[in-house]
Structure 1
Amino acid sequence: MIGIVYYGAGNIFSLTAALKRLGIPYGMITREEDFEQYNRYIIPGVGHAGAAMNKLEQTGLVPKIKALNKPTLGICVGMQLLTAYSEEGDSKLLDLFPINTLKFTSSADHKVPHTGWNRVYPEKENPLFQNIPDGSHFYFVHSYFIEYNNLYTLSSTTYTNKFSASIWRDNFYGVQFHPEKSGAYGETLLTNFSKI
């Protein structure tokens, strides 16, 4: 059963609707004791990484999250929170991955935020991407990206530059795209996560 870390950072309706549609049981985590009810976790998030980190710190859940040893998935800003630092708000984050979240440079060819479908290319074998073909499209909405580092990059994509579409370290995973808005392959990824 999946526990969604609920800390007031954005609308999670599309995520819960997708989990319901897929028949994946879930519940909300608002207190440290709630973690014990679940065997995997999702950290959602939309909007501003610095503001999201402040909200997360106010819950008192940060030490518990950093100590988790069960599969944990950050989505969008939830993924950015797993990194060490974000240029958005000059913010220190959870530092579960020693990499940074950086701002896209806007140009005539590449508007910021990056919004829309991009092809994603897995770079490591991992059950998260089981039954998802290389180059499958996923839906992105973001102005900041996770710097590419081959130690932690699980899959990559390109928009102005190559960056990490997903990351993986031990039991922690992150996806910059929105699997809950990415059609069949996004649903496959969520199903895969529920079985890791």
Structure 2
Amino acid sequence: MAKNVTIIDYGLGNLRSVMRGIEAAGARAVITGDAGEIAAADGIVLPGVGAFHEGMDQLGALRETVCAATKDVPLLGICLGMQMLMDSSEEHGTHQGLGLIPGRVRRFPHVPGVKVPHMGWNTIRLTKEESPLYSGLPHDAYVYFVHSYYADTTPEYTLTSTDYILPFASSIVRDDVYGVQFHPEKSGAVGLRLLKNFIDLI
């Protein structure tokens, strides 16, 4: 029987693209903003594009539902969804996140001749030897990024690191809560394998 992965619909994000990725990875994907459906999921994906404060505002009352669900099922945050897992962000002022993974979201510093946002393919380096999310993947895989802000956290919660202007956490973890700054649904075979690995965690 296919596992049920709930993709949280809070008004931001390319939900259909994420849905196709989850289905290609072998799970049944449901897009919903219903708290009951989220609470009943086998696994949860929190996608998102746009500004941090808009994401948190749009998530609204679902914040408590998401935090409570992570005690029982795995969660994967993608791009803005990953950033929202953290304590806070400095994007357009200071805003509180879900607080599921310690750290702060910061803007890339200005460097003459280097473009922000960080857009395109770049390497992720695995910093934890044993991670089920990266099972079967090379330690220096290429994935697709689009972001102007990055996760500033400690090595304890850093799953992969990437260099762009400075080294930053390109994926993060705490217990069964995972976040990836890149877009697995746009990262070819590497992204598909990562989504399959996430489904295997369920």
The match for 2:196 is 191
CA contact (8 A) 1:148 1:162 kept: no
Matches within 5 A, 1:20-169: 20-57=23-60, 60-68=61-69, 69=71, 70-90=73-93, 91-124=95-128, 125-169=130-174
Alpha-carbon distance in structure 2 between the residues aligned to 1:37 and 1:92: 26
CA-CA distance at 1:179 after TM superposition: 0.4
State the alpha-carbon separation in 1 of the partners of residues 155 and 98 from structure 2. Answer: 20
Aligned CA RMSD, in angstroms, stands at: 1.2
TM-score by length of 2: 0.92
1:106-145 Cα deviation digits (max 9, x unpaired): 3234210000111101111210000110111010000000
* Segment drifting more, 165-174 vs 62-71: 62-71
CA distance in 2, matches of 1:108, 1:50: 28
8 Å contact kept, 1:32–1:61: yes
Distance in 2 between residues matched to 1:10 and 1:40, nearest whole Å: 18
Match of 2:20 in 1: 17
Q: Does the CA-based 8 Å contact 1:75-1:176 persist in structure 2?
A: yes
The runs of at least 4 aligned residues of structure 1 exceeding 6 Å deviation read none
Residues 125-166 of structure 1 deviation map (CA, whole Å, 9 limit, x = unaligned): 210000110111010000000014101001111101111010
SS of residue in 2 equivalent to 1:7:
coil
Report the more deviating stretch, 87-96 or 112-121: 87-96
Q: Structure 2 regions of 5+ residues with no counterpart?
A: none
Mind listing any 5+ residue stretches in structure 1 that lack a counterpart? none
Q: Which residue of 1 aligns with 2:184?
A: 179
Q: Secondary structure of 1:15's match?
A: helix
Deviation digits for residues 73-117 of structure 1 (CA, Å, limit 9, x no counterpart): 000000000001111122111111220000011323421000011
TM-score normalized with structure 1 length: 0.95
Pair 1:5 & 2:28 matched: no
Identity of aligned pairs, percent? 40
Please say which of residues 21-30 and 67-76 is displaced more in the overlay: 21-30
1:53 is paired with a residue whose SS is helix
Q: C-alpha separation between the residues in 2 aligned to 1:83 and 1:89? A: 16
